[in-house]
Amino acid sequence: MPSGHGRPTVIVSDNGPEFAGRALDQWAYQQGVRLHFIDRGKPIQNAYVESFQGKLRDECLNGHWFLNLADARQTLAAWRETYNRVRPHSALGYVTPEEFARADVRRVEALQPQQAVALLREDCESNLDRCGTIT
């Protein structure tokens, strides 16, 4: 993940065994990444990720028995391509995330600079975790 998208500053997770282990804790400490665990029994605190993990589990993980790490990486990469480039998402008006992002870029490019800054400011105010300071 860090090589493709940069290192996160925080990882928000539930308290499941796959995210509460010693190996993740050690990696996060060494990388300077903070781990934040939602309250037990409160999946709504991480609703977007809970929804995504359910789709990943239902559409990919439950249907595969991975032979080794390379097989898992290949299977997950193929699923990720389908999820982002082929599979329409109802929350995005039944287009793929890739199509939605292209349309959003075109929409922002058509704005005057002051309008674009206002739009970015509004987006960042509603998504503080992924935005830095806008001046």
Reported as a single tens digit per residue, the pLDDT across 28-46 is: 999 999 998 888 888 788 7
pTM: 0.56
Provide the pLDDT confidence category of residue 120 given band limits of 50, 70 and 90.
low
Q: How far apart are CA 72 and CA 65, in angstroms?
A: 9
Q: How far apart are CA 59 and CA 70, in angstroms?
A: 19
pLDDT tens digits, 32-89: 999 988 888 887 887 877 788 888 999 999 999 999 999 999 999 999 999 989 988 8
pLDDT at 41: 82
Cα 75 to chain center, whole Å?
18
Q: Tell me the C-alpha to C-alpha distance, in Å, between residue 94 and each of 36, 86, 105.
A: 32, 11, 18
